Amino acid sequence: MADKAGKIINRQLFTENQVLRQVLGICSSLAVTNTMSNSLVMGLGLSFVTALSSMTLSAMRSIIPHRVRMLAQTLVIAVYVILVDLFLKAFLPEISKTLGPYVGLIITNCIIMGRAEAYAQKNPPLPALIDGFFSGLGYTGVLLMVALIREVLGFGTVFGMNVNFAGFETWTIMLMPPAAFFIIGSFIWLLGARAAKKAAKTAK
């Protein structure tokens, strides 16, 4: 019952986006979206961990006893998170410092556990890899959208490059926590409203 790759990709990037439709992995998507570069690094890190842990768990799914699978999943995820953490510390120490505890918190990101439970559990390794990777990319996409709004309005920059025009006063509130809540809330609202409209149309 392996799904087609295209179908998985479409589902994970758009129709069942983990952040906006399933409301998973919210903590980090709120916390790191004050700049684009933080969001990109975080998103790629998460995609890497989700993809590889899904693949590993899917490959091991017949040998892990059902009762201890949560523990096994956490351990596998933690191993990959440690890899990401060490990589960031070695090659991107600046970003690693600003992300702070949020890199370690990838372990408790519900997206990864969610994919492991909902998909990798019942599917062969390759589709699980694709599924994990693109659910990570869907998350990255949302992060980048939120970060774009916050960074342009808050700092007047995109990836640190100045896009500020004369007479534009930056909005400090955009860098503060409330803005993150408002922006993600509005995204979820827009998607929810669209889904509701679609459902109403098909019902007719």
Partner 1 sequence: MPQISPFVIFFASIITSNMVLSNFLGMCSYLSVSGEYKTATGLGMAVTMVLTLTTVINWAVYHYIIVPLEIEYLQYIIFIMVIAAVVQILEMLMDRYMPDLHAKLGIFLPLITVNCAIFGVTLFTVIRSYGFLQTLLFGIGSGLGWWLAINMLAAIREKMAKNKLPAGMSGTAVSFIITGIMAMAFMGFSGIFTIQ
Residue 43 amino acid letter: G
Q: At what angle do helices 177-203 and 125-154 cross, to 10 degrees?
A: 120
Put residue 170 in one of left, alpha, beta given phi > 0 → left and psi -120 to 50 → alpha. beta
Residue owning tokens 């409209």: 197
Q: Give the SS3 label for residue 132.
A: helix
**By CB under 8 A, residue 27 contacts partner 1:** yes
**By CB under 8 A, residue 10 contacts partner 1:** no
CB of 151 to partner 1, least distance (A): 17
CB 120 within 8 A of CB 58: yes
CB nearer to partner 1: pick between 30 and 55: 30
- DSSP structure string for 53-69: HHHHHHHTTTTS-GGGH
Token code pair at residue 13: 């990037």
CB of 183 to partner 1, least distance (A): 9
The correct pick among 14, 159, 168, 182 for binding partner 1 (CB under 8 A) is 182
CB nearer to partner 1: pick between 22 and 157: 22
Considering only residues 106 through 165, tell me which ones interact with partner 1, judged by CB under 8 A. 107-110, 113
CA distances 90 to 12, 28, 94, Å, are: 31, 22, 10
**By CB under 8 A, residue 23 contacts partner 1:** yes
Contact mark string toward partner 1, 40..79, x via CB under 8 A = -------------------------------x--xx--xx
Which residues are at the interface with partner 1 (CB under 8 A)? 23-24, 26-28, 30-31, 71, 74-75, 78-79, 81-82, 85-86, 100-101, 104-105, 107-110, 113, 173, 176-182, 184-186, 188-197
